[in-house]
Amino acid sequence: MNTTNASPLGTNMKNTRIAGLLYLIYIIFSIVADALGRSDLIVMGDAATTARNIIAAAWQFRVGFVIDLVSVVLFLMSAWALYVMLRPVNQNIALLFLLLNLGGVAVWCFSDLFLIASQVILSGANYLQGFHASQLQALAMLSLYIYKYGFLGISQIFFGAWLFPLGYLVFKSGFLPRFLGIILMVHCVVWSMGALQFFLFPAFIGIPFVCITYVSYPLGFISEFGLSLWLLIKGAKDPKPAPVEVL
């Protein structure tokens, strides 16, 4: 007689839409955090202008910071959901991408301390009265540069590296589009090149840097945003279990 064993993958596929939803919300939150707390207010290299912007839009800066923290949590939760979903494919590789994500998240959180420190330095608190305004502005800008090197530099090396084992598991899973796995692995290489360029050639704005930027952003949109939408809308197909003959 023939019987059918329940596949462990079939059980884990219930997490696909949760993973897709968390990943999509994380992407949205990170964009909002950048718009509120960073891109419009921080002018790297111009301490006076940045200080005026942060002081004038103190509430906006704090809201952006809180949203940034929420996006960190969402990113880690989405990585966990992806781990649960892809663990049956290869548990060791799934654990690898989860640990790489966790390393990047840890650096991201540590870097955020310097982001909020810039506003604390400019808060006008009594214990800061011994510093001149120009000194406070310089200290705030120093904090923002440390944040920049932590978040845009070190953490992105982890976030680039985690894409390769993630893409490999997507490719090998059999229940997710193989082309997304390929794009994720290619995106890992391009994203890592951009992160290394950040440290090796920080002031270089030549053709190679432009090429990395213009290749990396579309790859990131297609791979990560595409994966989140696929999981959320289509889910993952449960593989058909093979019949097992019972004597």
The one-letter amino acid at 62: R
The answer for residues whose C-beta is within 8 angstroms of residue 148's C-beta and 6 or more apart is 44
Task: Tell me what pLDDT residue 190 has.
Answer: 84
Q: CA 160 → CA 32, 45, 136, 167, 188, distances in Å?
A: 21, 27, 35, 11, 5
| pLDDT over 90, % of the chain | 44
76 Cα distance to chain centroid: 9
What is the pLDDT averaged over residues 120-137?
91
Model confidence at 215, pLDDT cuts 50, 70, 90, reads: low
Model confidence at 164, pLDDT cuts 50, 70, 90, reads: very high
pLDDT tens by residue, 103-122 = 999 999 999 999 999 999 99
Among the residue ranges 90-94, 143-147, 181-185, 198-202, the one predicted with the least confidence is 198-202
Looking at per-residue pLDDT, the higher value among 181 and 12 belongs to 181
Task: Tell me what pLDDT residue 229 has.
Answer: 83
Place of tokens 């921080």: 42
Task: Tell me what pLDDT residue 72 has.
Answer: 93
Looking at per-residue pLDDT, the higher value among 145 and 195 belongs to 145
Residue 245 has φ and ψ, to the nearest 5°, of -85, 130
Q: CA 66 → CA 30, 40, 53, distances in Å?
A: 11, 16, 18
Mean predicted lDDT score pLDDT of the chain:
82
Integer Cα distance of 94 and 87 in angstroms = 5
Model confidence at 95, pLDDT cuts 50, 70, 90, reads: very high
For the cut 90, the answer to whether the pLDDT of residue 232 exceeds it is no
- Entry pTM: 0.81
What is the pLDDT averaged over residues 159-179?
91
